[in-house]
Amino acid sequence: MFPWFWLWAPQVRLPFSGDVTQDIEPRVDWFFNAIKPQAGDARIERQAFDVASYGDQLGTITELLLAWAERLPAEDQASSAPLQELRAIHKRIAAIKSAEHARRG
């Protein structure tokens, strides 16, 4: 409205209110740096993760265990609570994957 009001406009600078720069490059090494030294070598874990993620590794192990369990007698399969739980977990994860793939198109 009145261009000369900028002369009287106060310029207050509070602490930490100046120009800000931010590095927005994603850093994902926090996960591998969080591995305790006695638990494993972080560099090896990172390279293994580049080969196959933990989900891929667990999925392969789960499928192998379920395939081996199919060779057990039927009464052993029915009475094994951990086997039933593993099958239920495997089905739930498969449902999540298929729903996500359907959502993405």
Residue type, 62: T
pLDDT of residue 83: 94
Does residue 45 sit within a domain?
yes
Helix or strand run (H / E) with residue 87: helix 81-104
pTM of the model: 0.59
Does residue 88 sit within a domain?
yes
State the total domains in the chain: 1
Does residue 1 sit within a domain?
no
pLDDT of residue 46: 79
What would the pLDDT profile of 82-97 be if each residue is shown by its tens digit?
999 999 999 999 999 9
pLDDT of residue 53: 86
Does residue 7 sit within a domain?
no
| Spatial separation of the C-alpha atoms in residues 91 and 95, rounded to whole Å | 6
Does residue 72 sit within a domain?
yes
Q: Which residues of the chain have pLDDT under 70?
A: 1-11, 18-20, 28-37
Does residue 79 sit within a domain?
yes
Owning domain of residue 55:
29-104
